[in-house]
Amino acid sequence: MPELAEVDYYRRQWDPGLGEKVVRVQVHPAKRVFRGTNARALSRKLAGARLENSQASGKQMVFRFSGRLWVGLHLGMTGKLSVGAPNHSPGKHDHFVLFQKDRALVFTDMRQFGRVLFHEGQQPPEWWRAIAPAVTSTAFSLEAMTQFLKRHGRLSIKGALLLQKGFPGIGNWMADEILWRAGIEPARTSASLKVDELKGLWKEVRFVARQAMIKIGKDFGDPPKGWLFHERWKRRGICPKHKTSLGKETIGGRTTAWCAKCQK
């Protein structure tokens, strides 16, 4: 599932359409991505509206149009955004297409775990305001993180890092990267972390998130060499530091990779 940097990368794919009007909209209204949203009303109101700006937060993104219109997109597992020619012919999985004079802005989702949301109003919609503060923001303080982990003290620290209410945008590979760098074994309970470990964890959450935004969010490139990222996907991955085999197990409901030597 795309994590915060991948989400921001895909958000930027629609940047060529900023400032331009939507000529027409084509949707697959019966598809699951429109659950809870009136796809036909969305199409009718967006026609003639101008795309003004966009923003990503956690694993979600929002596009604001003239006329006080807001469109939220969640990529799910297989969602992606792209730009097509103005005469683009929507494929089977192109569920939401905004046609402009010189291009088509396309939302594709093969497995339909993603979602399209719609709101009309001056103020941001509740589903956008409800997203927790970004882990790179000043609101994500050591104290705030510590209190969140206390409330989920019985949960494994790997599972806690995947909770979007506390760590928006952090997903499976980022959680593994953070814990490896912090030297924390992923199956430990959140309540078992000591003060120094919490400080190290907070530092690495912010570091990994910021570097991911730079390396992945910009051009979908890979993180630097020496990251666990490059080994965790391999069947016989090794620790970049010790060259020992990585442990692999399902923790927090997700396949998890760690180094027993680094993460005691």
CATH of the domain at 158: 1.10.8.50
Are 149 and 219 in a shared domain?
A: yes
Q: Give the tens place of pLDDT for each residue, 54-100.
A: 999 999 999 999 999 999 999 999 999 999 999 999 999 999 999 99
- Where in the sequence is the domain holding 203, given as residue range(s)? 142-258
Mean pLDDT in residue range 165-181: 97
pLDDT at 39: 96
- Total domains present in the chain: 2
Are 124 and 24 in a shared domain?
A: yes
Are 69 and 150 in a shared domain?
A: no
Residue 27 phi, psi (nearest 5) = -135, 160
Are 123 and 187 in a shared domain?
A: no
How many Cβ atoms sit within 10 Å of the Cβ of residue 189? 15
Q: Which residues pair with 255 in a beta bridge?
A: 250
d(CA 219, CA 114): 22
Q: Give the tens place of pLDDT for each residue, 24-53.
A: 999 999 999 999 999 999 999 999 999 999
Are 211 and 149 in a shared domain?
A: yes
238, pLDDT greater than 90: yes
| Percentage of the residues of the chain whose pLDDT score is greater than 90 | 94
219, pLDDT greater than 90: no
Asked, for residue 135, whether it belongs to a domain, the answer is: no
221, pLDDT greater than 90: no
User: Encoding tokens for residue 148?
Assistant: 């969140």
Are 200 and 234 in a shared domain?
A: yes
Asked, for residue 263, whether it belongs to a domain, the answer is: no
In CATH, what number is assigned to the domain containing residue 92? 3.20.190.10
Asked, for residue 264, whether it belongs to a domain, the answer is: no
Asked, for residue 215, whether it belongs to a domain, the answer is: yes
What are the distances in angstroms from CA 260 to CA 156, 186, 187? 16, 10, 11
